[in-house]
Structure 1
Amino acid sequence: MHIGERIKLLRKERKMTQEDLARILKVAPTAVSAWESGRNKPLMDKLSMMSTCFDIPLSHLVDGTPIVKKDSSIEFLNEKNVRLIGVYGNIPAGEPNFTNEYIEAYMPTLNSMLKNNKDYFFLRVKGNSMNKEFSDGSLILVEKTSYLEDGNIGVVLVNGHEATVKHVRIAAETITLIPCSTDPFYEEKTYHFKNDQVNILGKVVQAIKLYD
């Protein structure tokens, strides 16, 4: 069974039409049809979205790895219980900018995993400074907030540079960004709230890890 046949089977099990799936993935219904017939293959970002949408491991979609069901009461994604969250490849240097021009895709996410009064974004991890937590290219779900507690993993923009993801240690006047890496090149750095331009953009609440 090829990828497209698995997509078709999973879609029908959830009583979704090709149009329903296309609407969630922000693609044309003809794209879904081409995948299911084997004429074309979805890109990795769409496979990741379908993995979340169908609530199955990405490996099952890609190579048919069996699914181990832990709970029969699975909540599937649909238009009523899902929120589309923007995926940013990066947050540019300068002032924090969350405009649509920087969104590379949308990830369907269950409302039950989100707080009603909070905004969220996905950020694609770059580099290996946090590779003990998540690998290069992984997606992290970030709750927008300007406040972090000691020990949180946060997304922080310092002195106008591109936003970075690190464990944080918070003191009265300082914030220390702590890498979690197998590479000793990365070292913790401390910044002063008064002397440095520190913008706390959000708190990491979930990670979608990628495996080779």
Structure 2
Amino acid sequence: MDIGENIRHLRQNLGLSQAEFAQRMDVTKETVSRWESGRSFIRRNNIEKIRTVFGVPVEHLLGEVAPTRQDVKLPVADGASRAEGKAAQGEGVFPAYKVDRSASGTMLRYLAQAMAPADVAQRHPASFFVRLDSVDLAKVYPQGCLLLADQRMRPYNGCTVVAIVDDSITVIRRFQAGNNTVVLSTLGLKAPQPDLVLDKRRVRILGTVVWFQAGHDVTPD
């Protein structure tokens, strides 16, 4: 892949539209479009900014291997970056997000930071919180709680995942995988949403849920 394709892959991997990616980079949507199509030269300072903002090694942008979910950080604000640093140091502070509507579907939007118990943080240092605002999983979790999702843990049948479908829709659902398909289910108390039965290539797992706690544990930066 060339650098334009790698940038597009990174943007889609993070669930961002071109406009949202452009906003975080402080450029226009048209500029991002030209980058991705190879119609515009990408200055070194912009490459460095992508590396800094999204935590991507420069080699993944310039080389032949596109960044994967394990290589990138979720799109976060400055406060969340500090929180990730504390989590890495074992202090149990992680960035917290909510699922919010975007121009192209739904995405994770940064809220603040939240603390997990020290033993949980030590076992799952590469994690983030997401607030469960819907009632889709009401049989399992209380509405408004915080789910801690580990980005490095492989999903297993019956677990809850935070996933991106078709590079545009972020969902929190129960996971079941077959040979070539993934089933994403809700466990609501009233008229649950129908299962999503999808080709594996249409689903990108952002994290596997390993813990949950009260939503009021979110703290400002």
Q: Scaled by the length of structure 2, what TM-score is found?
A: 0.50
| Higher-helix-fraction structure | 2
Cα deviations by residue, 1:106-131 (Å, 9 ceiling, x for unpaired): 11223321346741100011211111
Q: How many residue pairs get matched?
A: 127
Q: Which residue of 1 aligns with 2:44?
A: none
Cα deviations by residue, 1:151-194 (Å, 9 ceiling, x for unpaired): 11111110133311111111121110111111224121210024
1:88 aligns with 2:97: yes
Q: Which residue of 2 aligns with 1:207?
A: 212
Q: Which residue of 1 aligns with 2:48?
A: none
Identical counterparts, % of pairs: 16
Q: Which residue of 1 aligns with 2:35?
A: none
Contact 1:138 1:208 in 2 (8 A): yes
Cα deviations by residue, 1:49-84 (Å, 9 ceiling, x for unpaired): xxxxxxxxxxxxxxxxxxxxxxxxxxxxxxx85231
Counterpart AA for 2:209: V
Structure 1 pair 174–149 and aligned structure 2 pair: CA distance change class (3 A): same
Counterpart AA for 1:205: V
Q: What SS does the aligned partner of 2:92 have?
A: strand
Structure 1 pair 118–103 and aligned structure 2 pair: CA distance change class (3 A): same
Instruction: Measure, in 2, the Cα distance between the counterparts of 1:189 and 1:131.
Output: 18
Instruction: Measure, in 2, the Cα distance between the counterparts of 1:97 and 1:185.
Output: 21
Structure 1 pair 81–137 and aligned structure 2 pair: CA distance change class (3 A): same
Larger Rg: 1
Q: Which residue of 1 aligns with 2:112?
A: 105
Give 1:204 shift: 0.6
1:184 aligns with 2:194: no
Structure 1 pair 118–95 and aligned structure 2 pair: CA distance change class (3 A): farther
Structure 1 pair 210–106 and aligned structure 2 pair: CA distance change class (3 A): closer
Instruction: Measure, in 1, the Cα distance between the counterparts of 2:107 and 2:136.
Output: 23
Counterpart AA for 1:200: I
Contact 2:99 2:170 in 1 (8 A): yes
Q: Which residue of 1 aligns with 2:132?
A: 125
Counterpart AA for 1:177: L
Q: What SS does the aligned partner of 1:184 have?
A: coil
Q: What SS does the aligned partner of 1:113 have?
A: helix
Instruction: Measure, in 1, the Cα distance between the counterparts of 2:169 and 2:96.
Output: 16
Name the stretch that deviates more: 169-178 or 84-93.
Answer: 84-93
Instruction: Measure, in 2, the Cα distance between the counterparts of 1:174 and 1:163.
Output: 18
Contact 1:146 1:202 in 2 (8 A): yes
Contact 1:118 1:144 in 2 (8 A): no
